[in-house]
Structure 1
Amino acid sequence: MNLLGIHHLSALTANAQNNVDFYTKILGMRMVKKTVNQDDPSVYHLFYGDEVGNPGTELTFFEIPNAGQNHDGNRSISTTSLRVPNDEALRYWEKRLNEHDVENEGIVEQFGRNVIPLKDFENQRLILVSDENNEGVPGGTPWEKSEAEPNYGIIGLGPIHLTIPELESTEAILTKVMGFRRKGEYKHHSTGQEVIVFETGEGGTGAELHIHVRTDLPQERLGRGGVHHVAFRVKDEETIREYLEQLNEIGMGNSGFVDRFYFRSVYFREPNGILFELATDGPGFATDEDVDHLGETLALPPFLEDRREMIERTLKPINY
């Protein structure tokens, strides 16, 4: 597979309003789509991104109002990175996070880059990573109306961290099936344990997986503050159907072709049980909304439009 990088990442929240407040007002991301979980339209699916929600910039959340707290552990997507333009931007963010009483570890080094590990209001594990020396997949463009300084704004998803008990089988899928290549290793700044780095496409911060191999952890119990799945970029629908054929040929169980309206997808679990998605770069979020008004009203894919009245009655309004 010739994947283009990270497409999006989907996590869980128990409170949509607090989630919007944190990611738009503190982190300054744009809500590019307010929609529902297509598999359960009674709950929100919120998309944050750059100015238009370009592929590779999308951090999304399913709202599960009664979700218990995530119990961190193995077989998990354990940390989500968000890219900022440079080291100067990190210094701005360190000050801003402290001003808003956001738990963070300050600026540390990770794989030759400066980063800030932090947590959101539900202990979602995040990292702000500097693109100072990035030579791979380019970032997006921060929203000019952001509540954070646009020149220092978040420009996309960075390296995604996986924690697994066994590397060999996952590495085989990444390298022999998905086209990733092993890039290097580093010692984690807090655990001191080795982290193995894989990259795809043009490489760089927008196309890496960082693998933590831990045999000393229980399996994660997913809840609020946890991550549901990570998606990787595929050029178009024709290409994703080719990839689907490849998955079927090797006997990799999968969802089959899924039309998410804003992109086309296929889902499968890698050998350690982590849910992967392949998603097309288009059609994009301006398909059903004007670019200047993305995320302002509830957007529904056509197959849910006839249920709009019932869906809107079920959802609690979000103010922003």
Structure 2
Amino acid sequence: SLDFWANRLEAKGIQFARGSRFDNATILVKDFHNLNIELVEKDWGKANTYAVDDITPETAIQGFAGAVLYSHRPDHTVELFDQVFGWHKVGEDDQYIRLQAPGERKEWLDIRKTADSFGKMAIGTVHHIAFEVADEEALNYWLEVAQQRGYHTSDIKNRDYFKSLYFRERGGILIELATAGPGFTWNETFEELGSQLFYPAKHEAIIDQIKANLTPLDF
């Protein structure tokens, strides 16, 4: 399906570059904020069934493959995922180390071995990377683990739809761990999703100001 996506991007006038990493063919494209987005060929993963325009279930994007991390200290970043989170190294070349998640879902992280400088907060910058945990009990477990290992953590944040905590690993990457629930249907039905604007109660005093600066959505 990469050929399909290459043709679709070309037809819409979007520049892209073909490549590969660890024998997985890729298409790299930048969005209008200059953010790197990559389509990755995989022979496993959750089967998708959606179809829209000329996209068929056979060519549809199957899900989230993983991410490329640009670390200030790559060895420390590898240490966190390998020794703390239990991800396993499944590949290494001159440029990248590939770690794969434990369990059945098999997402991967490619950590670039060349040290990078810290990024700046701006449009087109990825602020953090988030990982799902089962529930608040699991979140408290990881909070204790992170603190015992000397990471500076946030407290547990209530985001209404989930709870989360943050810490910056020693390679400089901001990590979020977030619970799977209660999810986006705790205050509206599945059919109603997206029809109203919801916001945390703590922002009640400024919600009118926020609404005034939102760009209207036109579907």
Check 1:166–1:310 CA distance in 2 against 1; reply closer, same or farther (3 A cut): closer
Report the TM-score when normalising by structure 1: 0.61
Q: Which residue in the other structure is 2:98 paired with?
A: 197
How many Å apart are 1:169 and its aligned residue? 1.9
Higher relative contact order (CA 8 A, sep 6+): 1
Cα distance between partner residues in 1 of 2:62 and 2:122: 27
How many Å apart are 1:124 and its aligned residue? 0.7
Q: 1:112 aligns with which of 11, 23, 44?
A: 23
Q: 1:273 aligns with which of 169, 172, 184?
A: 172
Figure out how many residues of one structure are paired with residues of the other and give that number. 218
Q: Which amino acid aligns with 2:129?
A: V
Any unmatched runs of 5+ in structure 2? none
SS at match of 2:76: helix
Counterpart check, 1:181 vs 2:99: no
Q: 1:128 aligns with which of 28, 39, 48?
A: 39
CA deviation string 1:104-153 (max 9, x = no partner): 113x332222221111112110101123x22xxx4374655x55625233
Report the TM-score when normalising by structure 2: 0.86
CA deviation string 1:201-238 (max 9, x = no partner): 2266x5211011224x5443332112111011211111
Larger radius of gyration: 2
Counterpart check, 1:229 vs 2:136: no
SS at match of 2:82: helix
Counterpart check, 1:149 vs 2:55: yes
Any unmatched runs of 5+ in structure 1? 1-87, 187-192
How many Å apart are 1:315 and its aligned residue? 2.3
Q: Which amino acid aligns with 2:31?
A: D
Query: What is the percent sequence identity of the aligned residues?
Result: 30
Check 1:237–1:295 CA distance in 2 against 1; reply closer, same or farther (3 A cut): same
SS at match of 2:65: strand
Q: Which amino acid aligns with 2:73?
A: E
Q: CA RMSD in A?
A: 2.5
How many Å apart are 1:295 and its aligned residue? 2.5
Aligned partners of 1:181 and 1:199 also within 8 Å: yes
